Amino acid sequence: MGAISGIVVIGSDTDAAPAGSAIFEKLKACSFERTGEWTDHSVHLGCGIIYNTPESRLEELPRSNESRTLVLTADAIIDNRAELLESFKLEPEESRVITDSELILRAYEAWGYSCPEHLIGDYAFALWDAGKQELFLARDAMGSRTLYYSYERGFFAFCTIETPLLKLFGRPAELNEKWIADFLAIDGIQHEMECEETVYRGIYQLPPAHYGIVNAEGFSKKKYWEPLRDIKPIRFKTDEEYVEAFKRCFSEAVECRLRSAGETGIFLSGGMDSGSIACVAAPKLAEKGKKLHGFTSIPVPEFNERPPRMTIYNESREVGLIAEAYPNIGMTYSSFADKNCLTDIDELIQVFEQPYKVFQNMTWYHSFLKLAAERNCAIMLNGQTGNNTISYGNFAVHLVTLSRQGRIVSAARELYGFSRLVNEPVTKVLKSAIPVVLPHRLKLWRHRTRLREFDRFHNVVVKRSLVHKWNVTERLDQIEANTPISRFPDYEEDRKARTSPLPFTHIGAVETKLSLASGITIRDPSRDKRVFEFCLAIPSGQFVRSGQERYLLRRAMKGILPDPIRLNIVAKGLQSADWVHRLAPIWSGVLAEAGQALEKGNLEPYVEVDKLREKLAKAGGDVSKAEDSVVRSILTAVIFSRFIEDFKQRHS
């Protein structure tokens, strides 16, 4: 695994090698163990390899098939190796020397354009088919690895990251005003509203679960996996059968991701997602005499703010229970007391190649990756997608589903069960449930006066003229962002939301680029395609029962995850709870920098200047007394300003 690049010249005799080598030379700014290039006049392919699995040490990319009619460059870890080896009638003992790229080549030879449907793992690859004179590109179903491209009349170029694609053939580097408007308009950490757009004009992403074809006719793309269409319902006779099937699927997803060329680490919190992954992974590693290196963020020692009821700021006690149950988990707790969410701002702008809003957790996330690299970790596990898969179970969604199905008795039973779990009177629970099951249109009618007065851009500083120019409001409606009244979906509506490519695109970009920067591949068993499909295929009653959320995982992890975590239904951990506290020593400097950015004029084309000034005045000198939304707006403006300044310096 690593990164790839390439270019195809279409309809002319132009040699692709100079432009292809120039793209690859910029890509080599990343640190690779091995690099390779291949060219054949109109085509150039490049690959940088990072040793993250035992087989990756044997990779030589780009590579050809035996007949030399196909040439592949790939950034890939293929997880269903055993299944593919059996399909290709290869002996099991050969699996130690069969690389993932060879499996991809064989898959294309066997299934052609439909080969991505047979590949499970984290991948992006490009394959030149000399017989057809075309380039075939594919990105994995969950979008775990990025694949950017630029297509203009006469050439098609692609790369794992964006900046090597800038200034191709003398074309000036330009920012994408539409993407910026969306970025600044979303009240939340999401970066984009359309998964093909990027911050750079003329550079796009191949979306998750898509393949593309480049030939004399141009460029076309197709979605090869439609979850709501392709996932067939799973129905068993007993609850125990669901649990056993889930455990087999989940265990396989974890085991696949333990294929490491070095040590294995995990971002470990006190919750059920990463905790379950750790408790399944640790015994498997112990069998091989290996450790699982756990990394847990804790607040700075002087942070003494009392958490709200049912919230945990410091999860070291819960994590300690996991480490105690599995002695081969070696824990590292750190607060990175000398850091705040702006400490590494310039470095992270380079890593992400764009402005970013995931600054709260970057204080420890980025720092732990560096620490894990020092411990020789090649793979870093997390449970980023767990809430939508392994630990899915939303009481409100289940209640709405039962209500819309007319199953009033079942809904009443769930309410009663929930009241017992939280030790609250049924009448109080029922009162809280009424707004949940109330039809959304009725809620909109009841709050019509409030809606007329509501400004969905109140918390953000995006320039209003850009909102109108790029129809931002329409796209916010499509993703239901910046809304005053929450919509409670039923199970089918929620399934649709869980299959949206936008979160996959966002997470894939963040994790791919952090992986390249650190040399450690971030992998998430809860985002395994098989786990995802299983969790979308089973009935909602397997996720919520008698008012208890996360019902499937609680049963499956019995005897595996320590009970104080498995059975906890009240308290939830809050990572980076001290993020505002950490800003106190530098807050005056942050306000000054935001003010200077306004004076320079870098923000004026994109930001409502007067509104940002109002927020700066409202924030005051004591950050602990400022509203979180105001602090986030100011930090977003500072990061965006730094990005603009960096872009101008590099591409003026």
Q: What is the per-residue pLDDT across 171-223, written as a single tens digit (0 to 9) for each?
A: 899 999 999 999 999 999 999 999 999 999 999 999 999 999 999 999 999 99
What integer pLDDT is reported at residue 447 of this predicted model? 75
What integer pLDDT is reported at residue 415 of this predicted model? 94
Rg of the chain's alpha carbons, rounded to an integer? Answer: 25
Who contacts 406 (Cβ-Cβ below 8 Å, separation ≥6)?
A: none
d(CA 536, CA 249): 13
Determine the average pLDDT of the residues in 416-436. 91
**Which pair of tokens denotes residue 126?**
């490009």
d(CA 78, CA 296): 28
- pLDDT for residue 452 is more than 90: no
Determine the average pLDDT of the residues in 617-641. 94
- pLDDT for residue 295 is more than 60: yes
- pLDDT for residue 91 is more than 80: no
Determine the average pLDDT of the residues in 567-582. 92
* 3 state SS of 445: helix
Cβ neighbours, 10 Å, residue 228: 11
Per-residue exposure over 295-308, b if at least 16 CB sit within 10 Å of its own CB, e if not: bbbbbeeebeeeee
Taking a C-beta distance cutoff of 8 angstroms, is the pair 392, 543 a contact? yes
Q: Shortest CA distance to 148 belongs to which of 614, 410, 505, 511?
A: 505
What is the pLDDT of the chain when averaged over all its residues?
A: 94
* 3 state SS of 389: coil
- Taking only the tens place, the pLDDT of each residue in 26-71 is 999 899 999 999 999 899 999 999 999 999 999 999 999 999 999 9
- Taking only the tens place, the pLDDT of each residue in 346-386 is 999 999 999 999 999 999 999 999 999 999 999 999 999 99
What integer pLDDT is reported at residue 95 of this predicted model? 54
CA 223 to chain centre: 19
Confidence of residue 94 (pLDDT cuts 50, 70, 90): low
Determine the average pLDDT of the residues in 418-439. 90
Q: What is the pTM of this model?
A: 0.95
Residue 54 is given by DSSP the state G
- pLDDT for residue 24 is more than 90: yes
Confidence of residue 345 (pLDDT cuts 50, 70, 90): very high
Cβ neighbours, 10 Å, residue 622: 9
Cα distances from 130 to residues 6, 40, 41, 136, 205, in angstroms, run 15, 10, 12, 11, 25
What integer pLDDT is reported at residue 93 of this predicted model? 63
Determine the average pLDDT of the residues in 410-426. 92
Query: Phi and psi dihedrals of 35, rounded to 5?
Result: -130, 155
In sequence order, what E strands does 395-449 have?
none
Determine the average pLDDT of the residues in 262-272. 97
d(CA 390, CA 608): 42
What are the DSSP calls for 313-372, one per residue?
S--HHHHHHHHHH-TTEEEEEE--TT--TTTTHHHHHHHHSS--S-HHHHHHHHHHHHHH
d(CA 35, CA 189): 35
Of 361-370, 418-427, 607-616, least confident by mean pLDDT is 418-427
What integer pLDDT is reported at residue 450 of this predicted model? 75
Confidence of residue 92 (pLDDT cuts 50, 70, 90): low
Confidence of residue 3 (pLDDT cuts 50, 70, 90): very high
d(CA 107, CA 640): 43
